[in-house]
Every structure is written in structure tokens, then in C-alpha cells.
Amino acid sequence: MTTVAPDPNPQAQFKFADLISAIPSFAFSALYFYTWIQPTAIEEKMVSYLMLVMGLEFINVHSSVVIENLIIGEAAPDQKARFIVGLGLLYTLFVGGISLAYGEWWPLLAFWGLTLNRLLGVLLGKHPTGEEKARMQISWAMSVFFYLLGAGVTTILPIPAFGITAEVVSRQEFTGGGLWELEPQTVIAFGFLYFVALGCSELFSYRWIPVQAANIQKIRMRRGARSTQE
């Protein structure tokens, strides 16, 4: 007979797998911040490339929700595999069209890099338990929340240009006239804040959210109660 004691402070704990899952998000945030300060140090059109990445991330958030729902669903493993491959091909065709429109192949790789980043926590683990399912579900909601919040904040508040001068903007060869094209520091700041928020949340598996921490404690207590009865 075994019992599972509740964690005294689940919000303050993280696992090695959480750290590995958070590293790509922190790497993306560092790339955005470095480009904000030194926009042409890596590549002359890096600002426009990172702008496209944030557009791809919007697609990625949607695709990850669909794929992760399939992963935690009750369908048979072979059915899950077929659905995931089919959806992967569908999104690949969609992003491939964007790549053709830009005359670049890297958006396709960037999309799948973002997708793997979102699914890394699932890929590192086994079949999701009740606790893992709860964490995944809150991660979907928070990803959407961070995206909308970051877009809203950087649109409303004045964002310093830092190294993104008028000359840098002219090199990007933007064809649109939206806020991101006129003031590209807004999308660069958006990307930096968004990926920092994702990385910090992934580091603690979203346990810093009171609702998520409470759900995890309830699941563990129910698991402990079943073990005691056995």
C-alpha cells in the first residue's frame, strides 16, 4: 500500500524535462532581443524574418492545439498516427504556400521548429497522465493568452526602436503598410516578450498558475487515495 503526499509548494518545482522544454523558447526570446539591439548583426533582413516567424507562430498555436488534442484523446494509437500525419501534411502544404510566396524555404523549417518546441514536453514523455493532460490543456490556453496579450501591449504602448533605425527598416523591403511594417520594433518586442513568457511558464510546467497547481494537487490526491484503497 502506497500513498502520495501532496507537494508543499508545487509552484516552486521544476523538472529536468521542463528545463529542456523551456530552452527553445528562451533561445527564441534571446534571438528577438539581440535583433532588437543589433538588427543586422546576424542577417540584413533579420527583422523581416522574425516578423514572419511571429505570423507562423499564430498558425503553430492553432496546429499544436489540434495535434495535442489528438495525442491525449482516446483514439487507438494507429488512428492517432494517421490523423497526426494527415494534419501535419495539411499544415505543411499551407506553410509551404507561404514559403513559395516569399521565395524562401526556411519558413517551412521555422514552422516545424516552432511546432516541435510546442510539442517537446509531450515528445519527451510517455502517454499523458491526468496530471500531464491538465498541464497541456492549460498550456494551450496560456499560449493564446500570451500571444493576444503580447500583441495588444506592444500595439498600445510606445516601444523603443533601439537599433531598428529608418535605414534598417528600408533594408527589409516591406510591401505592406501595417504597424509591424511601419514600426517593426513592435513585433520584435512582441516576440521577445511572448517567448520569455512561454519559457518561464514551461520551466515550471505552468504550475505557477493557481488553477493549474490546484488541479495537479487534486489529481495527485485522487491517485494517492486509489493507491491507499489498493
Closest CA to 135 of 9, 18, 3, 16: 18
Q: Supply 69's cell numbers.
A: 488534442
Question: What pLDDT, in 10s, does the model give residues 12-62?
Answer: 455 777 888 889 899 999 999 999 999 999 999 999 999 988 988 888 887
Question: What pLDDT, in 10s, does the model give residues 177-229?
Answer: 889 999 999 999 999 999 999 999 888 877 766 544 445 454 445 545 444 55
Q: Supply 108's cell numbers.
A: 517551412
Q: Supply 169's cell numbers.
A: 527598416
- Residue 193's contacts (CB-CB under 8 Å, 6 or more residues apart) are 29, 150, 153, 154
CA dist 35 and 45 (Å) reads 10
E-state strands within 37-88: none
Phi first, then psi: give them for residue 125, nearest 5 degrees.
Answer: -110, -175
Exposure string of 183-195, with b = 16+ CB inside 10 Å and e = fewer, is bbbbbbbbbbbbb
What one-letter code names the amino acid at 190? Answer: F
